[in-house]
Structure 1
């Protein structure tokens, strides 16, 4: 396994201030209060809410305070960016959230040529500019479909970023989705190091395993080399590392086991 370089967390205190948990992973545990309590019990100090949580901001604010959690980043749908931007800015301000990531366009909007994806990038870039005026960084969060090669020989993701060039749009790299999309996560993070500011940490089970969990597994139990990937993500600009599982059979066990593995990795340096 690869060792951490100077960009990786070598101390437990550093580790805890950059490691977060995407609350989508805990959605089957109950309401928001139950999810926040579970995140804290699993060892996390940071969480990443989803857009729906920003629409129950008083509960989110109370739950964060009760469980001694912070939420420096969150996910937000394109519909909210298009129709609820001022409300979203206000909600972010109430909980100190300074980063938002848009995780997916609708299935209809994903279909198109290079110019179509560039137009999506231009739209996101315009929203990113407006949010930056309010102290919030907007980024794009990838899945796998953005790595299809389009008519100009570039991936959908490359075209999206080209459309947003010159704007404050950032990138939250979902490393496991890059790998599942057939691309090289390290190569893409290096190419877009100028806009990379966060990454999602998830693991892929060996082929044919964990079908009931969509092929995902606890971090550290799959086929991805997380010591190397963590090191490279940090090297190329990821300031927060956000643990996620899209469909865990046991959400709390996933969160706790992944935290324990990453804490050991950070302490040992490999």
Structure 2
């Protein structure tokens, strides 16, 4: 069974305020076995805390974030390749992940191919060092150019680059997650476990529209924004079928993630997701 972990983007403010080690202690208290590090600065001190967290608390580092060029919070492989590999060896992480391709790579088939071709040598070099580079999708990765999805372009041009599949974003992109997992079996190493719900229409918004105090365009803006991220088990995703399918597709880690908790304490949202996953056998 894949290891159950947490995408630490949800707790980045706590990490900045309290330090990584203290946050790892809180994660361990939630009965979560691993973490993925994202959207925090990869300082030497933070890496030391990840090492201590594994030794003292038993919390694995499932993956850390990377990009090709400098400018993000992860390791910039152009300038920090050796440091990224060393951090993986010290923490025991076997995966690095790219959170998104540049927006400029999404505008055409040629642009996407050029980006994937730039990534492939780094993914191949990392593989030689025992580290797997994965690409994290969003809904835009279901864009089709000449009948070929961005997913397909990336696999064709960068075969050494595997996938971190965000099942919420696959669903939002219009592809059935079960179909995606089957289509890319073998490449799906990390899975973001994130639910998808539709929020109730705000009664005050409807009342303003009904009274003529809001035009149709503004109302439809509210209407189209009802899609939300949700705690696992509190949306419409079919987790009892999805998680076994993800394991069959090659998943090694299931990582709880929720991009927005809509005012809830993230720890409470994580706790709810964890309790649901326990209730279905994880």
Structure 1 length as normaliser, TM-score? 0.84
Map 1:155-170; keep pairs closer than 5 Å.
Answer: 155-165=149-159, 168-170=160-162
Task: Please name the residue that 2:142 is paired with.
Answer: 147
CA distance in structure 1 between the partners assigned to 2:229 and 2:192 by the alignment: 13
CA distance in structure 2 between the partners assigned to 1:104 and 1:54 by the alignment: 18
Does the 8 A contact of 2:9 with 2:39 survive in 1? no
Task: Please name the residue that 1:185 is paired with.
Answer: 177
Does the 8 A contact of 1:201 with 1:241 survive in 2? yes
Task: Please name the residue that 2:26 is paired with.
Answer: 38
Moved over 6 A (4+): 209-214
CA deviations 1:52-110 (Å, max 9, x no partner) are 45433123322443432111322223331222111111111111111111111233x23
CA distance in structure 2 between the partners assigned to 1:143 and 1:66 by the alignment: 35
Task: Give ranges in structure 2 of 5+ residues lacking alignment.
Answer: 70-75, 203-221
- The RMSD of aligned alpha carbons is 2.3
Task: Please name the residue that 1:23 is paired with.
Answer: 8
Does the 8 A contact of 1:28 with 1:251 survive in 2? no
Task: Tell me: CA distance 1:88–1:180, structure 2 relative to 1, closer, same or farther (3 Å).
Answer: same
Task: Please name the residue that 1:14 is paired with.
Answer: none
Does the 8 A contact of 1:101 with 1:139 survive in 2? yes
Does the 8 A contact of 2:36 with 2:62 survive in 1? yes
> Is 1:65 the equivalent of 2:55?
yes
Task: Give ranges in structure 1 of 5+ residues lacking alignment.
Answer: 1-8, 10-16
Task: Tell me: CA distance 1:131–1:81, structure 2 relative to 1, closer, same or farther (3 Å).
Answer: same
* Matched position secondary structure for 2:148: coil
Does the 8 A contact of 1:120 with 1:163 survive in 2? no
Task: Please name the residue that 1:49 is paired with.
Answer: 37
Task: Tell me: CA distance 1:216–1:205, structure 2 relative to 1, closer, same or farther (3 Å).
Answer: same
* Matched position secondary structure for 1:171: strand
CA deviations 1:104-123 (Å, max 9, x no partner) are 1233x233211221222222
Q: Which has the larger radius of gyration?
A: 2
> Is 1:256 the equivalent of 2:271?
yes
Task: Please name the residue that 1:227 is paired with.
Answer: 240
Does the 8 A contact of 2:182 with 2:249 survive in 1? yes
